[in-house]
Amino acid sequence: MQVSEAVQSTLASGAELIGNIITAATTKTRTDAQFGAMLARGARKSLFFGGELAVKGTSRGREFYADAIGAGLTSPDAMANALRKLERITARRTPAEMQYASLMFRGAKLGGLFATHPHTESRLVALEKETYLRALPRQRG
């Protein structure tokens, strides 16, 4: 995940740097330079935003595979029960969980687009259908 975030940050910063170099090389007035800098910042923010969605999507996918590995080591039912227990740990969310709700699997907003974990219901359905469990490599012999 750190590599994904590093690539995201590098691409976004690189886009702004290239935009600033092009702006510096091609503009003659202060207004043009300011407009070019604004476009470069916009490109950086757009790439960073898109990258953020990709990084969070990768994280959610990894969680499905982590669930599948847990189900493979125990059973799909045991893993599903563990997820249900996590949901019931506390009915009331802590102040820290409320502050970072978009990153938590219980409090994801916007359809979970920025969450690092998929919704528990999605994870339970994937375990029930063994979607990711079937995708894991099997040891022969």
Q: What is the DSSP letter of 57?
A: H
Helix, strand, coil abundance in the chain, percent, nearest 5: 75, 0, 25
**pLDDT, one tens digit for every residue, the chain (141 residues):** 888 889 889 999 999 999 999 999 999 999 999 999 999 999 999 999 999 899 989 999 999 999 999 999 999 999 999 999 988 876 677 787 777 766 665 555 566 787 888 888 999 999 999 999 999 887 765
Q: What is the pLDDT of residue 128?
A: 95
Map out the domains of the chain as residue ranges. 2-129
**Nearest C-alpha neighbor of 122 from the set 133, 112, 114, 110:** 112
CA distance 33 to 118: 43
Supply 45's token pair: 């923010």
Query: Does the reported pTM lie above 0.75?
Result: no
Q: What is the pLDDT of residue 73?
A: 93
Cβ(26)–Cβ(35) below 8 Å: no
Q: What is the pLDDT of residue 1?
A: 82
Q: What is the pLDDT of residue 141?
A: 58
User: CB 24: neighbour CB atoms within 10 A?
Assistant: 11
Q: What is the pLDDT of residue 101?
A: 66
